[in-house]
Copies of this chain bind each other. A is one copy, B any other.
Amino acid sequence: MIFTGSAHPGLAAEICAKLGEPLSPALLRRFANDCLQVQLQANCRERDVFIIQPLTPPVQEHLVELLLMLDAARGSSAARVTPVIPHYSYARSDKKEVPRVSIGARLIADLLVTAGANRVLTMAMHSPQVHGFFSVPVDHLHALAELAAHFRSPAPAEVTECGRSVPSSRTERAAGSAGERPAAPPVVVSPDLGYAKPAAAFARLLGLPVAAGAKQRFSDERVTITSIIGDIDDRHVIVIDDEIARGTTILELLDRLRDHRVRSVRIACTHGLFSDGALDRIAAAPEVTEIVCTNTVPLPQGLGNGKLRVLSVAPALAEAIRRIHLGESVSALFDHS
């Protein structure tokens, strides 16, 4: 049985469509004192229940809603309750960079288990270690292969059914790439050394070299990319990150890339939040030719100058749910990576 919270009903519908299963109804009520109540409106007794809810803004609302749904499912005698969290945004709070803070990713993991999660299905968490924060089994999917396929293939990758018309710049891009390759192959760039390892894995999938931005923290609030480690002068660049929110890091990276006279920039990420008009601000940079993300989170506001491509993770999540339900190997899904 599949339920969805209010964070991303479109993705839930798409997953259900792939699975050929109906989306079970749930009723969210907000009381006069702002407390929430969620009623699962279908019998869950002894069923295998999946609840789809990425932790997207407003994060706290969506988190508490998910916790209430997990507890409702457990209390209704579900055989197993699996939150499906395509974007586990708290994963970024994965260490103590300053004293006396919570490691939020661990706390939320414990809260999910307290509320009744028997296992978790998630995607592209900020660091692979966050897997170990959960005391229940986790299936952790990656979107790097899908993203790499997009950059490799001349044929269009699957695009989400959101009806947004997308003027295809793919042919130009392919042509452009082809025309310039003799000079030098593109370089994959991670905005941060802390993400260099997954960026290198992504580069390997594409057979490309990798570089990374080095950040320096000037004060609690001001962190700046001071240099790029690796050779990127006069090259085409593919920037890869796990999440783009306000886009501050990307915009700063674009400045640094410009210092190195890069020829063009394509930007890829799994979780495209693009809050506060980030999409349009990034797309406004003339050297940016394409912005690729997935639909782990709802489509961002803004048009992105026609440069946005959204890949759907619904097929991957639907297949994982199918395998979890049937007890088939989920790791086999990703043998190619």
> Do residues A37 and B100 form an inter-chain contact, with CB atoms below 8 A?
no
> Once the chains bind, are A100 and B132 in contact (CB under 8 Å)?
no
Docked pose: A45 CA to B75 CA in angstroms: 25
> How far does the alpha carbon of A34 sit from the alpha carbon of B104 in the complex, in Å?
13
The reply on A47 being an interface residue by CB < 8 A is yes
Q: Is A229 an interface residue (CB 8 A)?
A: yes
Q: Interface range on chain A: under 10, 10 to 19, 20 to 34, or 35 or more?
A: 35 or more
Q: Are B89 and A103 touching (Cβ within 8 A)? A: no
Q: How many copies does the complex hold?
A: 6
SS class, residues of chain A in contact with chain B: mixed
The answer to whether B34 touches A89, judged by C-beta atoms less than 8 angstroms apart, is yes
The answer to whether A248 and B107 have CB atoms under 8 Å apart is no
Task: Tell whether A60 pairs with B57 under 8 Å between CB atoms, given A37-B102, A93-B37.
Answer: no
Interface residues of A (CB under 8 A from B): 31-41, 43-47, 55-61, 63-65, 67-69, 71-77, 79, 89-90, 92-96, 98-107, 110-111, 114-115, 119, 127-133, 135, 137-138, 140, 192-194, 196-197, 200, 204, 209-212, 214-216, 227, 229-230, 243, 245-246, 248, 271, 273, 275-276, 323-324, 327-332
